[in-house]
């Protein structure tokens, strides 16, 4: 009964009260520069800085916890130990357990996204293939990190198999080692790899995007609160993100940051 009363009280507190305990946000333990990655066991990246700034505007301190994304979504989120997850696109299968912005499922870029990320097809430099947007004739094997599940599903629906890996870098190694097939990665990462001595001038980036996805900071939904009742008070605080007004305020602040040219220029200059 005491915990039930405590929970009801927590839900009525203003945003500043959540600052008493850091809001725990999980980050996938993969290298996805410059969006989210790890350095000296700490989460870094553009998405991290944007979320941290937006939350601080609401008096909320965030703790970014690096872990396998499946463990976060399937275990720690439902247990109430994690409040949110950063850097994922809309996924209908996940929408039952997570609060996405209202327009997240729409095809055009979401207004409340962290960023819109384009994904391009890459082939070896001496491959004469020209991508016109048709998926069925992409050179195989098609290499892609398994984190890009939305794109994998899109390709699989065409009856096409893909070769998955954990990191984008390994797909480049395999493409150039075998000198056949293709890979799919972000347009920003293609620029980064082209700047490295190992990969420079060894691949072709096809300009027509395979996909363009909105990426979000999303929160575990109110159904998770009940499962947190047997946890510690700090876990309950991290499960009590059922205030729609507060979530929308954070998303609105993220939008304002993304649309702030000076802020984004300064942020991008760090990477």
pTM for the predicted model, two decimal places: 0.85
The per-residue pLDDT for 234 is 47
* Same domain, yes or no: 151 and 201: yes
Burial of 266 (0-12, 13-18, 19+ CB in 10 A): exposed
Query: For residue range 111-133, what is the model confidence (pLDDT) as tens digits?
Result: 999 999 999 999 999 999 999 99
Burial 17-41 (b: 16+ CB within 10 A, else e): ebeebbbbbbbbbbbbbbbbbbeee
Query: For residue range 81-94, what is the model confidence (pLDDT) as tens digits?
Result: 899 999 999 999 89
The CATH number of residue 31's host domain is 3.40.190.10
Quote the domain boundaries for residue 41.
2-110+215-269
**SS3 assignment for 160-190:** CCCEEECCHHHHHHHHHHHCCCEEEEEHHHH
Provide the phi-psi class of 163: left if phi over 0, else alpha when psi is between -120 and 50, else beta. Answer: beta
* Same domain, yes or no: 164 and 261: no
Question: Could you tell me the pLDDT band of residue 271, with boundaries at 50, 70 and 90?
Answer: confident
Domain end (from 186, 212, 238): 212
Query: For residue range 208-261, what is the model confidence (pLDDT) as tens digits?
Result: 999 999 999 999 984 444 334 344 444 444 544 558 899 999 999 999 999 999
pLDDT of 13 higher than 90: no
* Same domain, yes or no: 53 and 182: no
* Same domain, yes or no: 129 and 197: yes
* Same domain, yes or no: 130 and 261: no
* Same domain, yes or no: 183 and 92: no
* Same domain, yes or no: 161 and 253: no
* Same domain, yes or no: 105 and 6: yes
Report the distance separating Cα 105 and Cα 110, nearest Å: 8
* Same domain, yes or no: 208 and 124: yes
* Same domain, yes or no: 171 and 242: no
* Same domain, yes or no: 203 and 71: no
Our count of domains for the chain comes to 2
* Same domain, yes or no: 64 and 48: yes
């Amino acid at each position: 009964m005491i915990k039930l009363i405590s929970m009801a009280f927590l839900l009525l507190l203003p945003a500043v009260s959540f600052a008493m305990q850091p809001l725990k946000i999980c980050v996938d333990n993969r290298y996805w520069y410059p969006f989210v990655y790890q350095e000296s066991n700490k989460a870094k990246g553009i998405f991290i800085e944007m979320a941290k700034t937006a939350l601080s505007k609401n008096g909320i301190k965030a703790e970014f916890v690096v872990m396998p994304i499946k463990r976060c979504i399937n275990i720690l989120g439902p247990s109430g130990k994690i409040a949110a997850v950063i850097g994922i696109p809309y996924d209908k299968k996940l929408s039952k357990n997570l609060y996405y912005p209202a327009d997240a499922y729409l095809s055009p870029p979401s207004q409340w996204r962290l960023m819109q990320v384009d994904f391009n097809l890459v082939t070896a430099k001496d491959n004469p293939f020209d991508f016109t947007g048709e998926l069925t004739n992409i050179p195989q094997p098609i290499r892609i990190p398994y984190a890009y599940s939305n794109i994998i599903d899109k390709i699989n629906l065409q009856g096409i198999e893909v070769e998955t890996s954990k990191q984008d870098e390994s797909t480049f190694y395999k493409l150039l080692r075998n000198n056949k097939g293709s890979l799919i990665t972000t347009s920003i990462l293609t620029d980064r790899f082209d700047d490295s001595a190992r990969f420079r001038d060894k691949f072709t980036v096809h300009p027509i995007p395979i996909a363009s996805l909105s990426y979000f900071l999303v929160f575990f939904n109110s159904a998770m609160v009940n499962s947190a009742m047997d946890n510690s008070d700090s876990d309950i605080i991290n499960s009590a993100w059922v205030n729609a007004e507060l979530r929308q305020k954070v998303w609105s602040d993220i939008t304002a940051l993304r649309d702030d040219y000076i802020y984004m220029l300064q942020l991008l200059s760090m990477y």
